[in-house]
Amino acid sequence: MDNQFDYQVVSFLPELLVYHSGSGMTHLLKGDLAQIFQIFLQQPSKTFRSDEIEKRVDSHQDLSVLLNMLQRKDMLIQKLD
């Protein structure tokens, strides 16, 4: 994510992230969703490829659902697949 995408994230536990976007929305991310979002935090990018994500997450079940959830929350901007 670049500087145009303002956000704040805090983590009280590794599997629980609280995310606050520039739009004012706050979300709680749990489990796999938190794990996936951590990847974007470590390597900020406004785009992603599902196959690259798949290599890095433990659970591939419902990955597309999780990615869509992040997109709906405006946490991911564009899917490149």
Partner 1 sequence: MIKKNAAVNYGSVLKIGAFTVRIETSVSSVTEGIALLYAGYRRLSDKDFADFFVRIYSPPGIRRFWRKQVHFAFDQYRPFKPLPYSQALPFFEWGLNWCISGYAHQYLIIHAAVVEKHGQALILPGEPGSGKSTLCAALVNSGWRLLSDELTLYERSSGLIVPVPRPVSLKNESIDLIHSTFSDALFSPTVHDTTKGSVALMKPPEESVKRMMDKALPAVVVFPKYQPDKKLSLTPFNKAEAFMKLAELSFNYPVLGAEGFESLYELVEQCKTFNFVYAGDFEKAMDCFEQLILEIK
Reduced 3-state DSSP string for the chain: CCCCCCEEEEEEECCEEEEEECCCCEEEEEHHHHHHHHHHHHCCCCEECHHHHHCCCCCCCCHHHHHHHHHHCCCCCEECC
How near is the Cβ of 38 to partner 1 at its closest, in Å? 14
Residue from 2, 3, 4, 24 in contact with partner 1 (CB under 8 A): 24
The reply to whether 28 sits near partner 1 by the rule CB under 8 A is yes
The reply to whether 4 sits near partner 1 by the rule CB under 8 A is no
Nearer CB in complex with partner 1: 9/77: 9
Nearer CB in complex with partner 1: 26/59: 26
Catalog residues that contact partner 1 under the rule CB under 8 A.
6, 8, 10-13, 16-18, 20, 24, 26, 28
